[in-house]
Amino acid sequence: MNYFELFNIPISFDVDLLLLPKTYQQLQRLTHPDKFASGSEQDKLVAIQKNAQVNDAYSVLKSPLSRAEYLLSLRGIDLKHEQQTIKDTAFLMQQMEWREELAELTERTDPLVALESLEDEINQTINSDLTKLRDLLASDDTMAEENAANIIRQLKFSYKMLSEIALKEDVLSDF
């Protein structure tokens, strides 16, 4: 049973993010191992496995990036452990510019303002990429799936940059 079926929702990039936690809580109540504490060892083991599956499914479905990656895995495209690099030269140049900007922030008059500006720019790129990804995942076309995989690779980098920005912000805020 795939995660969408487990949560009884359509297989789609778009999910109801208000319904998802409610369904998760219901599934948690149904599968929680404490409910099976007086059951057989087999019942306990099955409950633990089902509960872990519910937790994994929720974790994947609530995140747009994980959900997109999972959708591609259902189509036979596994990006989890791949080592493929991004070939889009425009995006590679953008990455280098972002990295340079992040490295040179401390030289700015107001590094926190510059950091916020960089964060806004990356968030705009993420939102744009998520929109493209939504459209591509709605298609069953092989080329669309390949393009979706490339956008997922780019999004992984963008989200990593946001994490690095958060760390830099913590360091700058401590001064």
Q: How confident is the model at residue 78 (pLDDT cuts 50, 70, 90)?
A: confident
The set of long-range contacts for 5-8, using a CB threshold of 8 Å and a minimum separation of 24, is: 6/53, 6/54, 6/57, 7/57, 7/58, 7/61
Distances (CA, A) of 28 to 1, 25, 35, 59: 17, 5, 10, 13
Rounded distance, CA 38 to CA 44, Å? 8
Q: How confident is the model at residue 32 (pLDDT cuts 50, 70, 90)?
A: confident
Rounded distance, CA 169 to CA 23, Å? 35
Average pLDDT of the segment spanning 160-175 = 88
- Evaluate if residue 171 carries a pLDDT over 90: no
pLDDT of res. 83 = 66
Q: Which CATH number fits domain 89-173: 1.20.1070, 1.20.1280, 1.10.287, 3.40.50?
A: 1.20.1280
Helices marked H in 32-141: 41-62, 64-74, 89-103, 111-137
Asked whether 120 and 162 are in contact (CB, 8 A), the reply is: no
Q: Which helix (H) or strand (E) holds 172?
A: helix 142-173
Average pLDDT of the segment spanning 28-56 = 87
15 Cβ contact list (under 8 Å, min separation 6):
9, 61, 67
pLDDT of res. 80 = 76
Asked whether 70 and 3 are in contact (CB, 8 A), the reply is: yes
User: Which residue intervals of the chain bear CATH 1.20.1280?
Assistant: 89-173
User: Which residue intervals of the chain bear CATH 1.10.287.110?
Assistant: 3-62
Q: pLDDT digits over 136-161, tens only?
A: 999 988 999 999 999 999 999 999 99
Q: Which CATH number fits domain 3-62: 3.90.380.10, 1.10.1740.10, 1.10.287.110, 3.90.650.10?
A: 1.10.287.110
Looking up tokens 């590679």, which residue turns up?
Answer: 92
